[in-house]
Amino acid sequence: MSKNLVIVESPAKAKTIEGFLGSDFLVKSSYGHVMDLSKTQIGVDVENGFEPQYEISPDKKKLIAELKKAAKEAEMVWLASDEDREGEAISWHLFKALGLKENKARRIVFHEITKPAILKAIENPRDIDVNLVSAQQARRVLDRLVGYELSPLLWKKVKPALSAGRVQSVAVRLIVDREEEIRQFQSTSSYKVTASFNALVNDTAHTILAELPERFSTHDVALDFVKSCLGANYTVAGVEKKPGRKSPAPPFTTSTLQQEASRKLGFSVANTMRVAQNLYESGKITYMRTDSVNLSDTALNMAKKEIAERFGKEYVKTRRYTTRTKGAQEAHEAIRPTYLNHPTVSGTAEEQRLYELIWKRTIASQMADAELERTIVDILISTNDKHFVAEGEIILFDGFLKVYLESTDDDNHDAAEGILPPLTNGQTLNLNELLASERFTRHPARYTEASLVKKMEELGIGRPSTYAPTISTIQKREYVVKKDLPGEKRSYQVIRLANNQIKQKKETETVGQEKAKLFPTDIGSLVNKFLEQHFENIINYNFTANVEKEFDDIAEGRTVWNQMISDFYKTFHRQITETTDNAGKFSGEKKLGLDPVSGKNVFVKVGRFGPVVQIGDTESDEKPRFAGLRKNQSMETITLEEALKLFDFPRILGEYEEKEVSVAIGRFGPYVKHNNAFYSLQKTDDPAVIGIERAIELIEAKREKATQSVIREFKQEPELKVLNGRYGPYISFKKKNFKIPKGTDAATLSLKDCMKIIEDPENTPKKRFVKRKS
DNA sequence: CAGTGAGCGAGCTTCCGCTTGACTT
């Protein structure tokens, strides 16, 4: 029995701390929040001061019972959750849920997981900060009211099972707005002039690349300029040298780690977090959900030592970074390796790569600036008054660049500048080639998962622990899809001057390719439009920043939390009732034209199951016909012709084994139907042209696969089979599936063994969704 | 997980922010 019980949020942290403290201390984890509002009800008493109705989270009941027991046996309980709004609330909830007494509980906080820091914290306990808890309560209640009043309104007015919230709806808006900007964007072209020269410097031939600082707006002006260069001489008219410096980027936060892992390693946001969690749990990195760029003193000293040993003393520069991010709470350190003297670790390939990135970034952040020298060379053209400019950059001292260079999202920059040979004033250069190429302005970039996180962080929307889940939610709701675009060919004009001759030609380039970018869907755009019309104040980009200020006031004790919520709710709830009463169905209905066969109107709109084409008016006596849009189609762009084509299904292809074979398009894409069985089409198959031969191929292929997946069959019991599925072997019996206990060899199971497994209630299929009591 | 879409009506869906395993057919 321990005299002291310490409760932290994360089990990995608990394990580390237990090592620091003696046997008088038992360290446990709360696994995050332990109490929350009821999931199935609004959970807030709006009539009575917005009193929250908390309950112990269902998955925490067992844990709370355990903690309660441990608390009873201990002389003192130390509540050591994180030092931020949510952490304070966790301590308060623990206090309540464990039924602690004032004289038997202390609140402590520490910023560094080291023995001295923890001992110091224990010597300096404090009370739970009630104001900070109130601020969290306000945050929680506001999010609940917004989410649980807006979502049902969407079910009624737009489509069932949709959702809206303070964070997710703004994330969707960013993507919808960006797509609209791209649609509105008008590309213009201009002519950019570049030249390459040959020069002999110290008996060595060098190539020098230069550019005209200005651009020409039309082909004619560009051509006139190139013509005016015929027979020209080019001389160096000035060499200017400027010193420059580059500083390293700060250590990683959750958001910057997600961005760099996306750009440098191609990881999705969720993957980055999964891999980082593994590194954290095996003690290799510090906590991965943080908004702080701060490094502990221990880390700073380790970095200093490591850099001096590895690269030399001149590479050391100790830096303390401060966070400027809106709403940062800084309960943790920046993300860094636990031991900075380990540049690599063992683990999976992904773990090694992510770790290396974190190591480099941390080390670089404590290294000296890179010192550069920029050279700008001015080149005169003898036949006109324009100048070429050549720029070069050399590194005098590499500093942190030895280890790490941050990448950018900006793909508009041109080829890297190289080293220029030492040119002298008055030196003549020989023109090798002069090019005037047509260049086009580019639309703003679509968001990647990571660049969306960056933008959300700038707006103060979401927290390190929610970036990845939010991005997955908006995709799961089908507001947004992540996809690639193949790009299109575009031709552009090039005017070339070489050997004193001008030649013009047309070249082609591929533009507009996209890889893993976020696009709004029809539903996403429609829901966004609905919210813009009725709840602009909620999805306004500044809404979160404004309420955060009010939460701060509550935390400081200047505002009473439920007064703030009451003020907010008055307006918000009026908007809800007004929209409920006055707004009609919001389907985005749009008329495409007339059906040439029936002469009826053809519409597109969002129906109960997603975007549909409708032939015939809803109000008419005859029932309208419907067909769902294909996955790659959009209400925005679909034509009448494409819409009518969707009604060509189901199409009868012929007969096979004396049963009809047809092709149709269902909820999950195009499929072949035969004898009441379904066979999905491949991506390369077009349901509009597919024939009976191909359909039979698909049927046979699926049958073949099915026989391969059978591990065991029994003559005595044809309804029982041992099959190989997605998650390994399982038993199928009378259309129900049963898992096979670990350590059992599926291939040697007898019928008796199988029946035993089936009868064991341990192995019965679990219900996917737990039905709630009414 | 598969041919939905009217209208009727029951029963369902939903938020954000803390934390990890559990374990799917």
Question: Is strand B in 7 Å reach of the CB of A678?
Answer: yes
Which tops the pLDDT comparison, A731 or A176?
A: A176
Average pLDDT over residues A264-283: 96
Give the mean pLDDT of chain A: 91
Q: What pLDDT is stored for residue A410 in this prediction?
A: 63
Check if residue A671 sits with its Cβ under 7 angstroms from strand B: yes
Closest CA-bearing residue to C1' of B4: A609
For chain A, what percent of residues have pLDDT higher than 70? 96
Work out the percent of chain A whose per-residue pLDDT is above 90: 74
For A635-639, what is the mean pLDDT?
A: 92
Instruction: List the single range of A231-240, A501-510, A694-703 with lowest mean pLDDT.
Output: A694-703
- Distance of C1' in B2 from CA in A651, Å: 15
A106 bridge partner residues: A78
Please report, rounded to whole angstroms, the spatial distance between the CA atom of protein residue A768 and the C1' atom of nucleotide B23. 11
Distances (CA, A) of A769 to A223, A765, A766, A772: 70, 12, 9, 9
* Nucleic strand B contacts from chain A, 77-106, CB < 7 Å: 82, 84-86, 90
- What pLDDT is recorded for position A650? 83
Residue A688's pLDDT is: 81
Q: What is the structure's pLDDT at A314? A: 98
Distance A102 CA to B15 C1' (A): 33
Residue A196: is it exposed, middle or buried by C-beta count within 10 angstroms (0-12/13-18/19+)?
A: middle
Are residues A272 and A253 in contact, defined by beta-carbon separation less than 8 angstroms? no
Give the pairing of strands A710-713 and A590-594.
Answer: unpaired
Strand B lies under 7 A from the Cβ of residue A528: no
pLDDT band for position A76 (50/70/90)? very high
Point out the nucleotide closest to A274 (alpha carbon to C1′).
B20
Q: Which residue is nearest to nucleotide B2 (CA to C1')?
A: A666
Residue type, A119: L
Strand B–CB A62 distance below 7 A: no
Question: Is A760 a residue whose pLDDT tops 80?
Answer: no
Give the span between the Cα atoms of A256 and A263, in whole angstroms. 11
What residue has its CA nearest to the C1' of B6? A623
Residues of A taking part in catalysis: 287
Q: Could you give the angle at which helices A11-20 and A115-123 cross, rounded to 10 degrees?
A: 90
β-pair type (A234-246, A370-381): antiparallel
Confidence (pLDDT) at A176 = 98
pLDDT given for residue A765 in this prediction: 57
Strand B contacted by A592 CB (< 7 A): no
Using only C-alpha atoms, chain A has a radius of gyration, in whole angstroms, of: 33
What local confidence, expressed as pLDDT, does residue A770 receive?
33
Residue A605: pLDDT band by 50, 70, 90 thresholds?
very high
| Helical packing angle, A543-555 and A561-582, nearest 10° | 150
Q: Which pTM was predicted? A: 0.90
Q: Nearest residue to B20, CA vs C1'?
A: A31
Q: pLDDT (tens digit, 9 = 90+) per residue, A297-315?
A: 999 999 999 999 999 999 9
Q: Which nucleotide is nearest to A89 (CA to C1')?
A: B18
What is the spatial distance between Cα A145 and Cα A141, in angstroms, rounded to a whole number?
6
Query: In a 3-state reduction of DSSP, which class is residue A703?
Result: helix
A560-587 confidence digits (pLDDT tens): 999 999 999 999 999 999 999 999 999 9
| A230, A412 contact by CB (below 8 A) | no
Strand nucleotide closest to residue A626 (CA to C1')? B5
Q: Strand B and chain A: which residues 593-652 have CB closer than 7 Å?
A: 607-610, 612, 618, 623-624, 626-628, 650
In chain A, positions 442-501 with C-beta closer than 7 Å to nucleic chain B are: 462-466, 469-470, 473, 477
Query: By CB neighbour count within 10 A (0-12 exposed, 13-18 middle, 19+ buried), where does A552 fall?
Result: middle
